[in-house]
Structure formats: structure tokens, C-alpha cells
Amino acid sequence: MRYTRRTILAGLALAAIRPAAAQADYPSRPIRLIVPFPPGGPADLIARFVGQRIGERWGQPVVIENRPGANTAIGAQLVAKSAPDGHTLLVGMDTTMVMNPILSANLPYDAAKDFVPVTLLTKNVSLLVVRSDGPKTAAELIATAKASAGKLNMGAGTITSRLGALLFAKTAGFQAQLIPYKGSAEIVQGLLSGSVDFALDSVGSSLPIIQAGQFRALAKYSRRPLPQLPDVPSLADVTGLPTLDESSTWIGLMAPAGTPAAIVGKIQREVASIYADPATQDRLEKAGVFPVSSTPSEFASFIQSETARWSAVIKDSGGFKLD
């Protein structure tokens, strides 16, 4: 069979039109939003909030799938191997995109090659919390921990939070047993049950328990003002280590590598539009979730800077093995 130049050009034009048409029709079916944590934590909360809003605006349901395990690697691997068409997205975070690549030698995904950053979603604030019958100040907790000769247990979920807990103990000069959890819901239960004596957890998860009088916040891993907890000091002020102001977590939206820029941009602009509503900002911040949006390029630069910063912190601290 012979092909004329006109036939070849027509075929090339059709091939160019099909991807453009697919992008224009996006989304053409329900979107899967993979959350690599159990239900109930800040990543799950923001995923459900943003997913519901996008679904309402686009007329396609956004289905939340919780795939916890392996420090978020299970969920990340699922998305990395998904079709790059915008219908499967990852609620990634510092653990997924920064800490795992630094600390894990055999990841089932390549953070730099398998994903395209879409937008930041939140920058969270972590709290040092105890039960309401525990120490009344961070200084009292430190004194109790020093006197316990390593018998206290401390709980944390994400790798960044675990590293923050270890840095706190090291800086304050005490030893404690780190109990790793898969997510915030488990941390709350561990502290309430007495399995751990103190914990690092997000404002969003801890705030309702604090307001109910069951938890007490001793310090925050940030200098960000918290209107809900105006008297809680920065842990950097308590310990004198500025690094502890930067141990809070962040959450962002990732797509599989190869996802068309037009689709990535459409998702990013929709999130920015949702966040532009002052009522949305107020609602989320009152729940202890601090929404932040960014362009894909800004998000990519942020991930690079976070990787360089935490690599230096871990090296200066003598190294940590958290797997």
C-alpha cells in the first residue's frame, strides 16, 4: 500500500488532535485520589475537602482511596504506575517526595522521575502533645524524660515527624523510645490509651482532642501564630534549636510523570480557585489545616529545596535510620 504525502500529513494532524481533544474533555470519568495514609489524618481531610469541591465543579466524582503502608510508598507506587491522563492522582507529602528518597535505599518508585508536581495543598504545623494529666510544660516533660532513664515512649507518624521527635530528644538531652505510627488516627489512640507518653501530631488531628480537654499542647514546631492555641510556645524557643521550627509537614498533589501540562495546569488552577474563597481559608484554618497553593514549577522548586535542607540536617545530626 502506498501513502501519499497528503495522507501522511492528515494522519499526523489527526494524531496531534486526539491528545488535545482528550485534554479538552478531561476529566472524562471519575478521578481516583490516592491517599497513602489511613482515614482521619490531615492528608485524608484535605483530600476529601478538595476532592469534593473539584467533583462538584467538574461534574465527575473524585474517589478517595486510602492506601497506607511502607511510609507512603504503597500509595506512591500505585500512582507512579498509573496512566498519565490525570484520572489517578497522589496526595503526596514530605515523606513521599523528600524523606523516603533521602533515607530509603530501595524505594518502589523514583520521586524525581515518576511524578510531576501539581500544587502544594497545605503546610501543616506539628504539636508536641501529652494527655491532659501529663506534664504542664515542655520543660516539665523534658525533666520527666531525663529522670525516666529512657523509659518514656514518644509517638509520631510521618518520617518528618519521627525525625522531629528524635531531634527534640537529642537537643533536650534525653532518651525515649520512638513508637512509629501509620497516621494521625493511630497516634491519637496511642496517646489516649497510654501506649505513648507524648507525641508529635498535626494541629488538625490534635486540636479537637485538645479542645475536648483530653490532650494538652506543650509546644508547636513552628513560629506560625495559632489563634486556636495562642499560648503555646515554639519548640525552638523551648530548646534553642531553630531547626525544630522547620519540622512540620506539608502535603501536595502529584500526577504520574508524562501527564500533559494542560491537564496539570487545569487541576492546579482549580485548586487555586477553591482556595481563593476566604470562607474556605477560614474553615480549613479553624480545623487546623493551613491551605497553600502553588504553581507546578514553584512546587517542584520547593521539593528540591526541601530535599537539600533535610539532607543537610540529617547529615549534621549524625544520620537517622527510620525505615
Say whether both 270 and 219 belong to one domain.
no
First and final CA of the chain: distance in angstroms?
59
Say whether both 230 and 262 belong to one domain.
no
The dihedrals phi and psi of 303, each to the nearest 5 degrees, come to -60, -40
pLDDT in tens, 249-262: 899 999 999 999 99
Say whether both 96 and 141 belong to one domain.
no
Say whether both 255 and 119 belong to one domain.
yes
DSSP string, 15-63: HHHHHHHHHHT--SSPEEEEESS-TTSHHHHHHHHHHHHHHHHHTS-EE
Say whether both 102 and 192 belong to one domain.
no
Q: Which domain holds residue 171?
A: 126-246
Say whether both 140 and 39 belong to one domain.
no
Boundary of a domain, candidates 225, 246, 267:
246
Q: 252 pairs with which residues across the strands?
A: 92, 120
User: Does the residue 284 lie in any domain?
Assistant: yes
pLDDT in tens, 61-76: 999 999 999 989 999 9
User: Does the residue 28 lie in any domain?
Assistant: yes
Reading the block at residue 170, the C-alpha cell is 537529642
Q: How many residues does the chain have?
A: 323
Say whether both 240 and 258 belong to one domain.
no
How many CB atoms are closer than 10 A to CB 14? 9
Say whether both 133 and 241 belong to one domain.
yes
Any idea which residue has 530548646 for its cell?
239
Say whether both 228 and 285 belong to one domain.
no
Boundary of a domain, candidates 228, 246, 264:
246
User: Does the residue 300 lie in any domain?
Assistant: yes
- Name residue 287's amino acid: A
Say whether both 23 and 100 belong to one domain.
yes
User: Does the residue 6 lie in any domain?
Assistant: no
Residues 73, 276: Cα–Cα separation, whole Å:
32
User: Does the residue 11 lie in any domain?
Assistant: no
Reading the block at residue 79, the C-alpha cell is 500512582
* pLDDT in the model for residue 18: 45
Q: pLDDT below 50 — which residues of the chain?
A: 1-3, 15, 17-19, 21-22, 323
Question: Which residues, 6 or more positions from 84, have their beta carbon under 8 angstroms from its beta carbon?
Answer: 255, 256, 257, 258, 259, 260
* pLDDT in the model for residue 309: 85
0.85 exceeded by pTM:
no
Residues 259, 288: Cα–Cα separation, whole Å:
32
Boundary of a domain, candidates 197, 220, 246:
246
* pLDDT in the model for residue 3: 46
Any idea which residue has 500533559 for its cell?
260
Residues 105, 69: Cα–Cα separation, whole Å:
17
Q: Domain count of the chain? A: 2
